[in-house]
């Protein structure tokens, strides 16, 4: 059983630098959880506290039913893969993978068997006699993963393991990591600042900012139902358009005013939230085609970028910068005012505090 629990965990460095604040999270056995957030949000520090490489300042961490606060990394039965491969340059791939087993005093036969099983799984068998300098970046990262896997730990921890790879290799390694998890169902915690990694790998995403959890949910929940402006702007590429508006609310409906004109009206379930706010519009929810749930707007087109199957159009809506994602075949002329349609059913409304009041 390898559930993980964080109970009111804090991390405070000297100088009162409060990096992680009242961190509470429960991770199911076999779950793949991704910590996602900008640099300095506390995600790697939290992972290092879980691994035992950092002491916690307050709270408890449990693996299974055991509190591991005072246990060494070795005693926690975890394996960690870092951004740096940290391979022994003078050892072969075989010896790098089997090093921890050798240190445990296992027999040559047992080491040989376990290393070859892992090497076959990671498609490293033809490379077992090579040294790290003769490997590509992706191959080195697979060796680092193999070194972690050979110990058959209860928990896998990944700290930005793909950030040193090029885009093509990252795609390959993401797929391999996902396949390995599906096969072995080991509890996995993965740290990244790359939202593509988070959305493609995770069973559950934990969004962090300034040491606090902003939202926990499936990739679908995080994308479609962001709880606040920060999460909405952080998830999605291109990022969500944030259009300043005025909100006139009562117990029955919200009226969204843009330049003193009613832009939208919808039912209100959050009471009186009148005041300044923002309208969140994803670039992909603006199109040239009218639907039953769309509203017409005039966009002043300033420039566009062709990105293969899609085209990004940059323009202004009532003097406000806005990005639109269209099919690459869309006929758009720079410098013109174009009628476009916003999918009204997909709008997000944020109040003055940045809370998404259009969900719930």
Could you tell me the CATH number of the domain that includes residue 277?
Answer: 2.40.50.140
Q: Is residue 136 one of the residues assigned to a domain?
A: yes
Q: Is residue 330 one of the residues assigned to a domain?
A: yes
b/e string for 34-64 if b means 16 or more Cβ within 10 A?
bbbbeeebbbbbbbbbbbbebebeebebebb
Q: Is 13 in a helix, a strand, or coil?
A: strand
Query: Do 197 and 56 have their domain in common?
Result: yes
Query: Do 212 and 183 have their domain in common?
Result: yes
Task: Among 190, 205, 232, give the residue marking a domain's end.
Answer: 232
Query: Do 196 and 260 have their domain in common?
Result: no
Query: Do 83 and 198 have their domain in common?
Result: yes
Task: Among 178, 211, 232, give the residue marking a domain's end.
Answer: 232
What pLDDT score does 120 carry? 86
Q: How many domains are there within the chain? A: 2
Task: Among 217, 232, 247, give the residue marking a domain's end.
Answer: 232
Q: Which helix (H) or strand (E) holds 224?
A: helix 219-224
Query: Do 275 and 312 have their domain in common?
Result: yes
| Domain that includes residue 285, residue range | 236-350
Q: Is residue 98 one of the residues assigned to a domain?
A: yes
Q: Is residue 356 one of the residues assigned to a domain?
A: no
Q: Is 331 in a helix, a strand, or coil?
A: coil
Query: Do 119 and 228 have their domain in common?
Result: yes
Q: Is residue 360 one of the residues assigned to a domain?
A: no
Query: Do 40 and 148 have their domain in common?
Result: yes
Nearest to 50, CA basis, from 193, 160, 158, 184: 158
Q: Is residue 127 one of the residues assigned to a domain?
A: yes
Query: Do 211 and 254 have their domain in common?
Result: no
CATH for 95:
3.40.50.300
Give whole-number Cα distances, 88 to 85, 136, 198, 275, 322, in Å.
9, 15, 30, 60, 50
Give the torsion sign (CA, 268, 274, 277, 279): positive
Q: Are 58 and 10 in contact (CB under 8 A)?
A: yes
Query: Do 261 and 308 have their domain in common?
Result: yes
Q: Is residue 358 one of the residues assigned to a domain?
A: no
This prediction's pTM: 0.88
Per-residue pLDDT of the chain (360 residues; tens, 9 = 90+): 599 999 999 999 987 789 999 999 999 999 999 999 999 999 999 999 999 999 999 999 999 999 999 999 989 989 888 877 788 899 999 999 999 888 888 899 999 998 998 888 888 999 999 999 999 888 888 898 888 888 778 899 999 888 877 788 788 888 888 888 888 889 999 999 999 999 999 999 999 999 999 999 999 999 999 999 999 999 998 999 999 999 887 767 888 888 777 777 777 666 667 789 999 999 999 999 998 888 889 999 999 999 999 999 999 998 899 999 999 999 888 999 999 999 888 889 999 999 998 876
Q: Is residue 148 one of the residues assigned to a domain?
A: yes
What pLDDT score does 131 carry? 93
Query: Do 139 and 261 have their domain in common?
Result: no
Query: Do 132 and 218 have their domain in common?
Result: yes
Query: Do 27 and 102 have their domain in common?
Result: yes
């Amino acid at each position: 059983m390898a559930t993980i629990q964080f109970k009111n965990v804090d991390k405070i460095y000297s100088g009162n630098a409060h990096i992680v604040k009242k961190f509470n999270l429960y991770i199911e056995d076999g779950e793949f959880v991704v910590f996602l957030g900008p640099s300095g949000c506390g995600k790697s520090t939290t992972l290092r506290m879980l691994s035992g490489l950092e002491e916690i300042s307050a709270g408890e961490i449990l693996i299974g039913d055991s509190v591991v606060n005072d246990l060494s990394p070795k005693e926690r039965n975890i394996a960690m893969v870092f951004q740096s491969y940290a391979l022994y340059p003078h050892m072969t791939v075989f010896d790098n993978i089997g090093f921890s087993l050798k240190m445990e005093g296992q027999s040559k036969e047992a080491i040989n068997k376990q290393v070859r099983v892992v090497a076959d799984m990671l498609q490293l068998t033809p490379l077992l006699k090579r040294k790290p300098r003769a490997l590509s970046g992706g191959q080195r990262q697979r060796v680092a993963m193999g070194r972690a896997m050979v110990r058959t730990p209860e928990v896998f921890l990944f700290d930005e393991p793909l950030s040193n790879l090029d885009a093509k290799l990252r795609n390959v390694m993401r797929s391999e990591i996902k396949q390995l998890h599906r096969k072995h169902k080991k509890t996995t915690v993965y740290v990244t600042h790359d939202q593509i990694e988070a959305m493609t790998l995770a069973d559950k995403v934990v969004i962090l900012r300034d040491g606090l959890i902003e939202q926990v949910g499936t990739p679908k929940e995080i994308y479609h139902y962001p709880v606040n402006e920060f999460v909405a702007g952080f998830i999605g590429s291109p990022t969500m358009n944030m259009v300043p508006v005025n909100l006139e609310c009562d117990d029955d409906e919200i009226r969204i005013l843009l330049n003193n004109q009613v832009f939208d009206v919808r039912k209100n379930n959050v009471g009186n939230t009148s005041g300044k706010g923002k309208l969140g519009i994803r670039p992909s929810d603006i199109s040239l085609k009218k639907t039953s749930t769309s509203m017409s707007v005039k966009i002043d087109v300033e420039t566009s970028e062709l990105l293969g199957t899609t085209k990004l159009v940059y323009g202004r809506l009532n003097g406000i910068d806005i990005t639109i994602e269209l099919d690459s075949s869309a006929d758009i002329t720079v410098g013109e005012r174009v009628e476009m349609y916003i999918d009204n059913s997909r709008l997000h409304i944020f109040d003055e505090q940045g809370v998404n009041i259009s969900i719930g």
